Homo-oligomer: A and B are copies of this chain.
Amino acid sequence: MVAGNGDIRVPEMADMTVGIIGLGLIGGSLARRLARRGVNVIAWNHRDHPYVQAEADGIHCMRTLADLAAAKPAVIVLCNPLKAMPAVLAELKPVLDPTATTLTDVGSVKGMVRDQVEAAGLGECYVGAHPMAGNELSGWQAADPALYDDALWAVTVCDDTSYARFHMVSQMILDGIGNRVIVLNDTVHDQAAALISHMPHVVATALINQLTDDPNRNIAAALAAGSWRDMTRVALTDPDRTRAMVDEDAVNVESLLRSMAARLTAVADALHDGDNDELTRFFADGQPFRNYKMAQQSGTIDYAERDVAFDPAYWQTELLSSARRGEHIIGFAGDHIVRVQVRSAV
């Protein structure tokens, strides 16, 4: 396929070896999907209980992280838990050949992982990634190649990211996994994740606290219907996990919570003052999102496709602009040209 613009060359998928660290739900599903699609997959897990089944699925399981690195896979995907990241990176650093291998990961926060990778002295090899895939299960037992069906990946880059390494990781996602890509920087990713997940988890928790603190809580709970059930569902999941997620993205969550508090206070003030203009504005403000959802739900959408050429000197910002327009990369169409689907825009 297309040659990289550095020392790194992007091999054809059939010639690419991918190393998976961690065979839980996310890593196990990924390893199984890549192997099924003909990619050479090697893997390491902190315990070897999945190895018999994984080998039967065509995944070559390694005894140690050093063995995995020594095989010089073109890409290593860190699928270990975030809390194990510093230990895994410290073990990889002395054995990884940075000229042979590009590092990526699947973590749901990107700034923190990049900091950890850089602290381990592996920053030059790293391109971040976050697949929009998952369910409420966990562990190898739940691993399923279909978890990635039609998934979108956020690939996160910084000013120093090698284009060739970005290309390599994206090629793995597009051709190896058969998914779509948007290119973000860590800040935009972590702010967006805070907006659509981390902050709403806090809001849902505040709702159940509001009920629990009410002397008429049993009456309120008895009257509760679908709107309450939907809005508090995520507050019923493990609060320790939610707290960890919020802590990892604390700056963004803090800022969004202050913005939400200001919005709620503005409505309270408008109700108090009988300010109909403000209420009208409040209920009209999100109409573009309602229209976007209606368009999505109106049936099967045939997304238009087009080629987007970008300046190699500004590939990070130009591909971020493409993502902002609602375009999803579905392939490379030449040197510094990506093929995109034009998705619905808010």
Contacts and interface: CB of A to CB of B under 8 A. Distances in A.
Copies in the complex: 2
A184 to B, nearest CB: 6
Contacts of A92: none
Contacts of A247: 271, 279
Interface in A199-220: 200-220
A212 B224 CA distance: 28
A315 B204 CA distance: 36
B290 A235 contact: yes
Interface stretch (A19-27, A56-64, A225-233): A225-233
A123 interface: no
Interface stretch (A30-38, A72-80, A161-169, A261-269): A261-269
A283 interface: yes
Interface string A144-155: 000000001010
Contacts of A84: none
Nearest to A293: B236
A345 B218 contact: yes
A258 B265 contact: yes
A192 interface: yes
A217 B259 CA distance: 15
Contacts of A264: 202-203, 206, 257-258, 260-261, 264
Contacts of A7: none
A225 B197 contact: yes
Interface stretch (A42-50, A238-246, A306-314): A238-246
A286 B212 contact: yes
A265 B257 contact: yes
B243 A208 contact: no
Contacts of A333: none
Given A210-B260, A212-B288, A228 B268 contact: no
Given A132-B223, A192-B219, A202-B267, A242 B283 contact: yes
Contact of A195 (B211, B242, B288): B211
A290 B235 CA distance: 8
Contacts of A325: 218
A346 B283 contact: no
Given A260-B264, A286-B208, A346-B212, A182 B234 contact: no
Nearest to A343: B222
Given A192-B219, A204-B227, 16 more contacts: A132-B225, A201-B227, A203-B203, A207-B260, A209-B282, A209-B285, A210-B259, A212-B285, A212-B286, A213-B285, A215-B324, A218-B326, A221-B292, A227-B233, A227-B234, A253-B267
25 contacts: A154-B223, A182-B219, A188-B219, A201-B227, A206-B264, A208-B289, A209-B286, A212-B285, A218-B325, A218-B346, A221-B292, A222-B328, A222-B343, A230-B234, A232-B289, A239-B283, A239-B286, A239-B287, A243-B280, A246-B271, A253-B271, A254-B272, A257-B271, A260-B261, A261-B262
Interface of A: 132, 134, 152, 154, 182, 184, 188-189, 191-193, 195-197, 200-225, 227-228, 230-236, 239-240, 242-243, 246-247, 250-251, 253-265, 267-268, 271-272, 279-280, 282-290, 292-294, 323-326, 328, 343, 345-346
